[in-house]
Amino acid sequence: MRPWAQIKETHIAVVVLLGDHAFKLKKPVNLGFLDFTTRQARQAICHREVELNRRLAADVYEGVADVRGPDGELCDHLVVMRRMPEERRLSAVLRSGRPVEGHLRQVARMIAGMHGRSRHGPEIDQQGGRQALRSRWSASFDEIRALTDPVLDTEIIGQIERLALRFLDGRAPLFAARIAEGRIIDGHGDLLTEDIFCLQDGPRILDCLEFDDRLRFLDGLDDAAFLAMDLEHLGAPRLAEAFLHWYTEFTDDHAPPSLWHHYVAYRAFVRAKVACLRQQQGGSGAAGEAHRLAELTLRHLQAGTIPLILVGGLPATGKSTLAAALADHLGYTLLSSDRIRKELCAITPEQHTPAPFGEGIYRPERTQRTYHEMLSRAELLLHHGEPVILDASWIDADHRAAAAAVARRTCSDLVALRCTAPPQITAERLTHRSGTTSDADQTIATAMTQTMQPWPEAIEIDTSPTTEPPLDRALAAINLSAPPAPRRFRRPQLEPD
């Protein structure tokens, strides 16, 4: 049975739960980022809260009531709301072990619908841009470092700062594209499982950020990532992943998974900062929560790094097979020099055009153009947050230096893999190969062996059939066999309840 009356308090409001209603009274406080010290300011923010929250819970926010004194004088104002059942909070339903997939799918649809109806404009776009996000990250780092009693280790803060800012610095075209696509919206700004109620006739989503419009002006995916982060923090990473998949499905948003990871990390770090501040104020358990949220932040930033993987080697060493297997396993974009070379010559990939070494479509100028085009495409993808695998021989040190320059310009992690195999195995493969885009034969392979320049920085992958599977060796070599968080969000097999 529901308690008849309760009082709850936050740093900016007092909520009185009485019968079937909740009454929220704003405190007359000035916290710098908000000023409720005048009755007029409290009246305006009450009306603003009702207006904004009716977007997602129209029948919960009933209106604003005046508070009058004994003589009828106007003293203050209250937000009047329907009282929600505590046991139907999404957080409570999760902890109880009851199914929530159907509710979460409805929440995703509701958030997507609100975002689709949201207003747009230059002021909103500015707050959702790369520089604004970078400034918010930097402000959080400054606030945590300014604390007199540090909660988080300086090393983990440094790691988080390096990864977060590096991602942003290399992704200007991605964030510009998000603005051009209209992805920056007037959202909710504070999606938490505590403020979502799973009712029989559908979810109700409460308590959006009303006191500062700029905190609601954000990328829609950033808004959704807040709830995904909270779900994962509560021990439900699979549901967090499912929720983001449903949201992007309903919004037709094809953002790269690296951006998903970045926004989840950002939201986790904001919560970690708040936990640090609560610890300073004597909050019980806040330090442990800050550490858990910082670890969650770091996991997602590590998972969202952008690698540029070079897979090279002489003909028949298995480089193309390995590159394709890596692309399938990791979900990365694969670019092949053989395919691009023939595309530039208006030849289908399957069409064979054998020629002596350095002649025909393999003349040096053609090879130079092929590598230039491949790296140009890779750079565009990397700037947009998409990891790339480049399948080519990479026998020329200048081409490898050009790839390293692309990695630097896009703030990406360069990984070089060089495939090898014993001569008798490559000779047999060259004799019996089929279904390949390569035109190389034994004569070409011999000539390339003589011209291949040293590649000491590459990690050697032996593709001999008697060795450990090349894919496993490659994953281990580039430290991706057991990443700290999913490298790529995959659609889970969940059914609505």
Reference 56, options 227, 212, 178; nearest CA is 227
Specify the pLDDT at position 435.
64
Q: Which residues of the chain have pLDDT under 50?
A: 481-488, 490-497
Strands 459-462 and 413-420: parallel
0.75 surpassed by pTM: yes
The answer to whether the CB of 36 falls within 8 A of the CB of 12 is: yes
Amino acid at 85: P
The answer to whether the CB of 338 falls within 8 A of the CB of 437 is: yes
Domains and CATH numbers, the chain: 5-82 (3.30.200), 86-303 (3.90.1200.10), 307-477 (3.40.50.300)
The answer to whether the CB of 311 falls within 8 A of the CB of 393 is: no
The DSSP annotation for 336-369 comes to EHHHHHHHHTT--TT-----STT-GGGSHHHHHH
- Greatest Cα-to-Cα distance within the chain, rounded to the nearest angstrom: 103
Specify the pLDDT at position 153.
92
Specify the pLDDT at position 2.
58
Q: How do residues 351-364 score in pLDDT, each as one tens digit?
A: 777 777 777 778 89
C-alpha to C-alpha distance for 403 and 378, rounded to whole angstroms: 9
Q: How do residues 24-52 score in pLDDT, each as one tens digit?
A: 999 999 877 789 999 999 999 999 999 99
The answer to whether the CB of 310 falls within 8 A of the CB of 416 is: yes
Specify the pLDDT at position 356.
74
Other beta carbons within 10 Å of 226: 23
Identify the three-state secondary structure at position 308: strand
230-247 burial: b if 16+ Cβ within 10 Å, else e: bbbbbebbebbbbbbbbb
460-493 burial: b if 16+ Cβ within 10 Å, else e: ebbbeeeeeebbebbbebbebeeeebbbbbeeee
Q: Phi and psi of 223, rounded to 5°? A: -60, -50
Specify the pLDDT at position 428.
86
C-alpha to C-alpha distance for 28 and 71, rounded to whole angstroms: 22
